[in-house]
Amino acid sequence: MSTYSEQLGGYTGTISSEITETLRDAIITGEISQGSKLSETKLAKDFDVSRGPLREAIRNLEGMNLIVHVPQQGARVVTLSMELILEIYDTREALESKAASLAAANMTSVEIDELHRIIDAQSKHMRDNSNSYIPAESDYDFHDTLVRGAKNKVIESALLRRLYPLIKMFRYQHEFASTSTTNSLQEHRQIVYAIEQRDTELAGVTVKRHIIRARDRIERRLTSIVGDKNTKRAS
Protein backbone atom coordinates (compact mmCIF):
# COMPACT_ATOMS: atom_id res chain seq x y z
CA MET A 1 0.00 0.00 0.00
CA SER A 2 2.55 2.54 1.08
CA THR A 3 5.19 0.88 -1.05
CA TYR A 4 6.37 3.74 -3.20
CA SER A 5 5.82 6.48 -0.68
CA GLU A 6 8.40 4.91 1.57
CA GLN A 7 10.92 4.05 -1.09
CA LEU A 8 10.69 7.10 -3.28
CA GLY A 9 9.49 9.95 -1.17
CA GLY A 10 11.43 8.89 1.83
CA TYR A 11 8.80 10.31 4.10
CA THR A 12 9.67 9.66 7.67
CA GLY A 13 7.96 10.72 10.80
CA THR A 14 7.15 14.28 9.90
CA ILE A 15 3.60 15.54 10.14
CA SER A 16 3.60 16.81 6.60
CA SER A 17 4.49 13.36 5.31
CA GLU A 18 1.59 11.74 7.10
CA ILE A 19 -0.79 14.36 5.83
CA THR A 20 0.62 13.88 2.37
CA GLU A 21 -0.21 10.19 2.41
CA THR A 22 -3.64 10.69 3.89
CA LEU A 23 -4.55 13.33 1.34
CA ARG A 24 -3.04 11.30 -1.46
CA ASP A 25 -5.25 8.34 -0.68
CA ALA A 26 -8.28 10.56 -0.24
CA ILE A 27 -7.67 12.08 -3.64
CA ILE A 28 -7.00 8.78 -5.38
CA THR A 29 -10.16 7.20 -4.00
CA GLY A 30 -12.22 10.26 -4.84
CA GLU A 31 -13.10 10.95 -1.23
CA ILE A 32 -11.91 14.43 -2.12
CA SER A 33 -13.53 15.00 -5.45
CA GLN A 34 -11.84 16.14 -8.64
CA GLY A 35 -11.56 19.87 -9.13
CA SER A 36 -12.41 20.68 -5.55
CA LYS A 37 -10.40 23.31 -3.77
CA LEU A 38 -8.03 22.39 -0.99
CA SER A 39 -8.37 25.18 1.54
CA GLU A 40 -5.30 25.43 3.73
CA THR A 41 -7.15 26.91 6.68
CA LYS A 42 -9.93 24.36 6.52
CA LEU A 43 -7.65 21.36 6.17
CA ALA A 44 -5.39 22.65 8.93
CA LYS A 45 -8.39 22.62 11.25
CA ASP A 46 -9.48 19.18 10.08
CA PHE A 47 -6.07 17.68 10.77
CA ASP A 48 -5.55 19.88 13.82
CA VAL A 49 -2.16 21.12 12.73
CA SER A 50 -0.78 24.46 11.71
CA ARG A 51 -0.74 25.57 8.11
CA GLY A 52 2.98 25.00 7.71
CA PRO A 53 3.04 21.23 7.36
CA LEU A 54 -0.11 21.43 5.32
CA ARG A 55 1.50 23.61 2.71
CA GLU A 56 4.37 21.16 2.53
CA ALA A 57 1.92 18.34 1.99
CA ILE A 58 0.24 20.26 -0.79
CA ARG A 59 3.61 20.76 -2.42
CA ASN A 60 4.26 17.05 -2.18
CA LEU A 61 0.95 16.27 -3.83
CA GLU A 62 1.78 18.78 -6.52
CA GLY A 63 4.93 16.76 -7.16
CA MET A 64 2.71 13.74 -7.75
CA ASN A 65 0.61 15.74 -10.20
CA LEU A 66 -2.44 15.04 -8.05
CA ILE A 67 -3.16 18.70 -7.45
CA VAL A 68 -2.61 21.90 -9.34
CA HIS A 69 -1.34 24.81 -7.33
CA VAL A 70 -1.83 28.37 -8.55
CA PRO A 71 0.03 31.03 -6.57
CA GLN A 72 -2.21 33.39 -4.67
CA GLN A 73 -5.20 31.30 -5.62
CA GLY A 74 -4.69 28.01 -3.90
CA ALA A 75 -4.66 24.36 -4.78
CA ARG A 76 -7.22 22.27 -6.60
CA VAL A 77 -7.49 18.54 -7.08
CA VAL A 78 -6.61 17.65 -10.65
CA THR A 79 -9.51 17.04 -13.02
CA LEU A 80 -9.14 13.84 -14.99
CA SER A 81 -10.55 14.90 -18.31
CA MET A 82 -10.44 12.38 -21.10
CA GLU A 83 -7.86 14.57 -22.79
CA LEU A 84 -5.57 14.43 -19.76
CA ILE A 85 -5.95 10.69 -19.37
CA LEU A 86 -4.91 10.10 -22.96
CA GLU A 87 -1.96 12.44 -22.55
CA ILE A 88 -0.91 10.49 -19.49
CA TYR A 89 -1.02 7.24 -21.41
CA ASP A 90 0.93 8.69 -24.32
CA THR A 91 3.59 9.77 -21.85
CA ARG A 92 3.55 6.42 -20.14
CA GLU A 93 3.94 4.68 -23.48
CA ALA A 94 7.11 6.61 -24.21
CA LEU A 95 8.64 6.20 -20.77
CA GLU A 96 7.71 2.65 -19.95
CA SER A 97 8.72 1.20 -23.30
CA LYS A 98 12.12 2.78 -22.81
CA ALA A 99 12.18 1.44 -19.27
CA ALA A 100 11.53 -2.03 -20.63
CA SER A 101 14.44 -1.76 -23.05
CA LEU A 102 16.70 -0.73 -20.23
CA ALA A 103 15.30 -3.44 -17.98
CA ALA A 104 16.15 -6.06 -20.59
CA ALA A 105 19.72 -4.84 -20.39
CA ASN A 106 20.05 -4.16 -16.69
CA MET A 107 17.69 -6.35 -14.69
CA THR A 108 19.27 -8.85 -12.36
CA SER A 109 18.18 -12.46 -12.47
CA VAL A 110 16.73 -12.00 -9.01
CA GLU A 111 14.48 -9.25 -10.31
CA ILE A 112 13.43 -11.36 -13.26
CA ASP A 113 12.49 -14.10 -10.83
CA GLU A 114 10.35 -11.56 -9.05
CA LEU A 115 8.51 -10.87 -12.30
CA HIS A 116 7.91 -14.58 -12.68
CA ARG A 117 6.50 -14.82 -9.18
CA ILE A 118 4.09 -11.99 -9.87
CA ILE A 119 2.93 -13.50 -13.13
CA ASP A 120 2.51 -16.93 -11.57
CA ALA A 121 0.37 -15.39 -8.84
CA GLN A 122 -1.75 -13.71 -11.47
CA SER A 123 -2.02 -16.94 -13.37
CA LYS A 124 -3.05 -18.83 -10.25
CA HIS A 125 -5.58 -16.16 -9.40
CA MET A 126 -7.21 -16.61 -12.78
CA ARG A 127 -7.31 -20.38 -12.54
CA ASP A 128 -8.96 -20.16 -9.14
CA ASN A 129 -11.53 -17.51 -9.97
CA SER A 130 -12.30 -18.66 -13.46
CA ASN A 131 -12.20 -15.94 -16.10
CA SER A 132 -11.54 -13.26 -13.54
CA TYR A 133 -9.55 -10.07 -13.77
CA ILE A 134 -6.01 -9.38 -12.69
CA PRO A 135 -6.16 -7.57 -9.33
CA ALA A 136 -5.06 -3.98 -9.62
CA GLU A 137 -2.40 -4.33 -6.91
CA SER A 138 -0.80 -7.25 -8.67
CA ASP A 139 -0.71 -5.32 -11.93
CA TYR A 140 0.99 -2.40 -10.18
CA ASP A 141 3.52 -4.79 -8.67
CA PHE A 142 4.41 -6.04 -12.10
CA HIS A 143 4.95 -2.63 -13.59
CA ASP A 144 6.74 -1.33 -10.49
CA THR A 145 9.22 -4.17 -10.67
CA LEU A 146 9.69 -3.67 -14.38
CA VAL A 147 10.35 0.06 -14.02
CA ARG A 148 12.75 -0.37 -11.13
CA GLY A 149 14.62 -2.96 -13.13
CA ALA A 150 15.57 -0.33 -15.68
CA LYS A 151 18.04 1.12 -13.19
CA ASN A 152 17.27 4.63 -14.32
CA LYS A 153 16.25 6.88 -11.45
CA VAL A 154 14.99 9.63 -13.71
CA ILE A 155 12.55 7.42 -15.58
CA GLU A 156 11.68 5.71 -12.32
CA SER A 157 10.60 8.88 -10.58
CA ALA A 158 8.85 10.21 -13.67
CA LEU A 159 6.75 7.06 -13.80
CA LEU A 160 6.31 5.88 -10.23
CA ARG A 161 6.14 9.23 -8.55
CA ARG A 162 4.52 11.53 -11.08
CA LEU A 163 2.45 9.36 -13.42
CA TYR A 164 1.32 6.28 -11.54
CA PRO A 165 -0.61 8.18 -8.86
CA LEU A 166 -2.71 9.73 -11.61
CA ILE A 167 -3.25 6.36 -13.24
CA LYS A 168 -4.25 4.82 -9.93
CA MET A 169 -6.64 7.67 -9.33
CA PHE A 170 -8.22 7.21 -12.73
CA ARG A 171 -8.53 3.45 -12.45
CA TYR A 172 -9.95 3.61 -8.96
CA GLN A 173 -12.59 6.18 -9.73
CA HIS A 174 -13.56 4.68 -13.06
CA GLU A 175 -13.51 1.11 -11.85
CA PHE A 176 -10.83 0.23 -14.30
CA ALA A 177 -9.26 -1.26 -11.21
CA SER A 178 -9.18 -4.55 -13.03
CA THR A 179 -7.24 -4.83 -16.23
CA SER A 180 -8.55 -7.04 -18.95
CA THR A 181 -8.03 -10.68 -18.27
CA THR A 182 -6.41 -13.24 -20.52
CA ASN A 183 -4.82 -10.83 -22.94
CA SER A 184 -3.01 -8.76 -20.33
CA LEU A 185 -1.59 -11.82 -18.65
CA GLN A 186 -0.37 -13.11 -21.98
CA GLU A 187 1.21 -9.74 -22.69
CA HIS A 188 2.93 -9.79 -19.33
CA ARG A 189 4.39 -13.15 -20.25
CA GLN A 190 5.67 -11.80 -23.53
CA ILE A 191 7.32 -8.92 -21.73
CA VAL A 192 9.11 -11.17 -19.30
CA TYR A 193 10.17 -13.42 -22.15
CA ALA A 194 11.76 -10.52 -23.99
CA ILE A 195 13.56 -9.37 -20.87
CA GLU A 196 14.76 -12.88 -20.16
CA GLN A 197 16.20 -13.08 -23.65
CA ARG A 198 17.92 -9.73 -22.99
CA ASP A 199 16.24 -8.55 -26.17
CA THR A 200 16.08 -4.83 -25.55
CA GLU A 201 14.23 -3.99 -28.75
CA LEU A 202 11.59 -6.67 -28.32
CA ALA A 203 11.05 -5.68 -24.71
CA GLY A 204 10.50 -2.10 -25.79
CA VAL A 205 7.97 -2.79 -28.51
CA THR A 206 6.14 -5.37 -26.42
CA VAL A 207 5.60 -2.95 -23.57
CA LYS A 208 4.74 -0.19 -25.99
CA ARG A 209 2.03 -2.36 -27.52
CA HIS A 210 0.80 -3.36 -24.08
CA ILE A 211 0.26 0.25 -23.11
CA ILE A 212 -1.15 1.34 -26.45
CA ARG A 213 -3.76 -1.38 -26.10
CA ALA A 214 -4.66 -0.18 -22.64
CA ARG A 215 -4.89 3.35 -23.98
CA ASP A 216 -7.15 2.28 -26.81
CA ARG A 217 -9.44 0.37 -24.49
CA ILE A 218 -9.78 3.47 -22.35
CA GLU A 219 -10.36 5.71 -25.32
CA ARG A 220 -13.08 3.45 -26.69
CA ARG A 221 -14.74 3.12 -23.34
CA LEU A 222 -14.66 6.84 -22.59
CA THR A 223 -15.78 7.96 -26.03
CA SER A 224 -18.72 5.60 -25.86
CA ILE A 225 -19.80 7.38 -22.71
CA VAL A 226 -18.81 10.96 -23.20
CA GLY A 227 -19.46 11.23 -26.89
CA ASP A 228 -17.11 12.19 -29.64
CA LYS A 229 -14.55 14.67 -28.45
CA ASN A 230 -11.77 15.40 -30.85
CA THR A 231 -8.82 13.25 -29.90
CA LYS A 232 -5.33 13.64 -31.19
CA ARG A 233 -3.04 10.73 -31.77
CA ALA A 234 0.20 9.90 -33.45
CA SER A 235 2.40 6.90 -34.26
Partner DNA sequence: TTCGCAACAATTGTCGACATTTTTATAGAA
Partner DNA sequence: TTCTATAAAAATGTCGACAATTGTTGCGAA
Q: By the criterion CB under 7 A, which residues form the site for DNA?
A: 13-16, 37-42, 49-53, 55-56, 71-75
Among 1, 70, 110, 225, binds a second copy (CB under 8 A): 70
Helices (H) and strands (E) in the chain, counts: 11, 3
How far apart are CB 54 and DNA at their closest, in Å?
Answer: 8
Q: Are 39 and 5 in contact (CB under 8 A)?
A: no
Q: Which does 90 bind (CB under 5 to 8 A by kind): DNA, a second copy, none?
A: a second copy
How far apart, in Å, are the Cα atoms of 38 and each of 1, 15, 85? 24, 17, 22
Q: Does 40 bind a second copy (CB under 8 A)?
A: no
Sign of CA dihedral 173, 60, 111, 113: negative
Q: Closer to a second copy at the Cβ: 32 or 103?
A: 103
Angle, helices 82-106 vs 164-174, to 10°: value is 130
Neighbours of 98 (CB within 10 A): 19
Of the residues 72, 130, 131, 224, which one makes contact with a second copy according to CB under 8 A: 72
3-class SS at 70? strand
Closer to DNA by CB, 13 or 227: give it: 13
Q: Restricting to residues 118-157, which ones interact with a second copy according to CB under 8 A? A: 151-155
Crossing angle (nearest 10°) for helices 15-29 and 40-47: 110
Q: Minimum CB separation from DNA for residue 78, in Å?
A: 16
Residue closer to DNA (CB basis): 5 or 179: 5
Q: How distant, in Å, are the alpha carbons of 17, 47, 57, 204 from that of 53?
A: 8, 10, 6, 41
For residue 59, state whether it binds a second copy (rule: CB under 8 A): yes
Among 76, 125, 162, 174, binds a second copy (CB under 8 A): 162
Q: Out of 136, 200, 217, 219, which residue is the one contacting a second copy (CB under 8 A)?
A: 200
Q: Per-residue x/- marks for a second copy, 78-117, CB under 8 A?
A: ------x--xx-xx-xxx-xx--xx-xxx-----------
CA 201 to chain centroid: 23
Pure H helices in 9-161 = 15-29, 40-47, 51-63, 82-106, 109-128, 136-149, 153-156
38 binds, among a second copy, DNA, none (CB under 5 to 8 A by kind): DNA
How many CB atoms within 10 Å of residue 156?
20
Q: Toward DNA, which CB reaches closer, 22 or 178?
A: 22
The residues that touch a second copy, with contacts defined as CB under 8 A, are: 10-14, 17, 52, 55-56, 59, 62-63, 65, 70-72, 84, 87-88, 90-91, 93-95, 97-98, 101-102, 104-106, 151-155, 158, 162-163, 200-201, 204, 232-235
